[in-house]
Amino acid sequence: MFHSHFRQIALFLLLLLPFSSCKQTAPLNGKLKSDNLPSQLFTISTIRDNNIRLSGGTIIQIPANALKNANGDSVKLEIKEALTIEQMIAAGLYTRSNGELLASGGMLYIAPQEGQDVKILKSMKVVVPADQTQEGMQLFRGEVVDAAINWVDPKPLEVSKMDARLAHGKKLLTSNCYQCHDVTKKIVGPPLFGAIQRWGNDTNAVYEYTRDIALAMQKYPRATCVYNEYRISMPAFPTLTKEELDDMYLYIQEEGMKRLGGMPAEYTNTSCDSCFYIYQLEYSLYSAGKGRFGINYYGRPTDTIKNNLANGTNVINVATDTTSPVISNVVIPPPPTYYSFDISTFGWFNIDQFLADNIQTEITTLKVIQEGLVSSTLYPVLVVPSLKIIQAGAASSDNHYFYFKEEDGKVQLPPNKKAYILVMGEKSDTVLFGITNFVTGGDQTIKVNIQKSNKVAVKAAIGRLKLPDAKINVEKTNNVNTDQLKLELDRLRKKYPGCNVSDTSK
């Protein structure tokens, strides 16, 4: 039986797996713990169009009269996103369908809040952002059985990746940008891969900056900060349409993922989003009217701001950033790369691909042996972050090892990918934890050393599955109006709540 101390740890990562018999043909799913994901709550009018952008970037389009509430013309919705590997692990959202392993492109839960009688009369459209789209992805529906989730009823979905668009985007990039920019390398200007992410997924702002940097600098403090970081003037491209920019940034995203196989932290980091930048904004507002946008060294800042400015470089984690949820009756532009599907029921949905259908995977043998403080109640979990694969292991019939698909250890996985084996549980009121990493491929037997642990150590270990923190330096910036500075400061405070800021913007 799990005790209160272990439950506290499980709030961060629930790898609590159901007990299994000695003989089984496939691993059991872990328990679904969706309470570990934050609920995003919305109240919408059913008689008008509603366009919702969630904190992770997912867009939901709900047409007028698509929902009917027996008690009135408004509906309260509860929505959850699981787009990152950490979110999926924490919620027990294992990636398998009736025993077959899956690679996930993102998960979503949507339902009316309790106490409402709501029916769906028209389908709702969902757009899920993607670092890179994969052929063969399908939409699965979540089915909860014995407190575990199983993904069923796969259906085709719309994918934004089209050869014609990619070719068009490459042509636009080559003819307009390649003198100063490369997709993944710094030339005169920064690499273009990750530009959308560095701007907080604000596609409209990036497009305005691309068309005319001078005009963007009048509207966005970030534009001024980026200009000061590189000190180069970019030619204006005022005739580029939204559709052309969509195609160009789609190509940049796909090409960057192809070259690097992922989005390294340095491609999403920007000096314009550090705590120090926040302190600069605070100081600017405190000294409003006394100098340029940046540090007014002749002002009299509060002690808090003065001390913060003296600290210089700060450490932030951009990997956990989310944007503020938005609801509008105007269509919200989709991200450059995305999956799209329609839903006509409430519940869990998952964009997945059967690993057996992925031509980049191969059959390997993977077994896990536990060492150290072993216990019959502990089960390993396989995590492959690059494809968002999470699978609970099962004990072999002789209890000598654990496996993830077939009892002989056979499992289909992508080769040469960094992967992890996690083991977590409790024995005699003692927290037990083990983690090891390896590179997939070939026939392997992985040993995991299980030791006594605690909540802080477990959290730190799991945190290392994320992208590394980035040290960020800041340059001074130019004039921007005070109202815009307040908006930018408010945005960054929400984005990085860990920065110790004072309230000087009022």
pLDDT by residue (tens digit) across 423-434? 877 666 678 888
pLDDT in tens, 332-349: 777 777 888 999 999 999
- Are 440 and 361 within 8 A, CB to CB? no
Supply the pLDDT for residue 386. Answer: 86
Instruction: For residue 333, give the nearest of 129, 121, 165 by alpha carbon.
Output: 129
Supply the pLDDT for residue 325. Answer: 76
- Report the C-alpha gap between 365 and 168 in whole angstroms: 42
pLDDT mean over 75-83: 95
Supply the pLDDT for residue 482. Answer: 63
pLDDT at 316 over 50: no
pLDDT in tens, 400-440: 999 999 999 999 999 999 999 988 776 666 788 889 999 99
| DSSP 3-state of 204 | helix
Supply the pLDDT for residue 273. Answer: 58
Cα 10–chain centre separation: 21
73, two tokens:
């013309």
- Are 375 and 427 within 8 A, CB to CB? yes
DSSP label at residue 203: H
pLDDT at 501 over 60: no
- Are 5 and 431 within 8 A, CB to CB? yes
Most confident of 170-174, 316-320, 356-360: 170-174
- Are 33 and 12 within 8 A, CB to CB? no
Supply the pLDDT for residue 315. Answer: 24
342's enclosing H/E stretch is strand 338-343
142, two tokens:
């979540």
**Cα–Cα distances in angstroms (integers) from residue 416 to residues 85, 248, 261, 358, 442, in the given order:** 18, 30, 11, 15, 9
**Cα–Cα distances in angstroms (integers) from residue 410 to residues 27, 148, 366, 441, 463, in the given order:** 12, 23, 6, 11, 29
pLDDT at 389 over 50: yes
- Report the C-alpha gap between 421 and 419 in whole angstroms: 7
pLDDT at 258 over 60: yes
Supply the pLDDT for residue 487. Answer: 73
* Ordered structural domains, the chain, with CATH: 28-158+325-356 (2.60.220.30), 162-265 (1.10.760.10), 275-302+479-506 (no CATH)
Task: Record the pTM.
Answer: 0.62
Percent of the chain with pLDDT over 70: 72
pLDDT at 464 over 80: no
Mean of the per-residue pLDDT values of the chain: 77
Supply the pLDDT for residue 307. Answer: 42
pLDDT at 237 over 90: yes
Confidence of residue 496 (pLDDT cuts 50, 70, 90): low
Supply the pLDDT for residue 141. Answer: 96
pLDDT at 196 over 50: yes
Instruction: For residue 251, give the nearest of 364, 179, 173 by alpha carbon.
Output: 173
Confidence of residue 239 (pLDDT cuts 50, 70, 90): very high
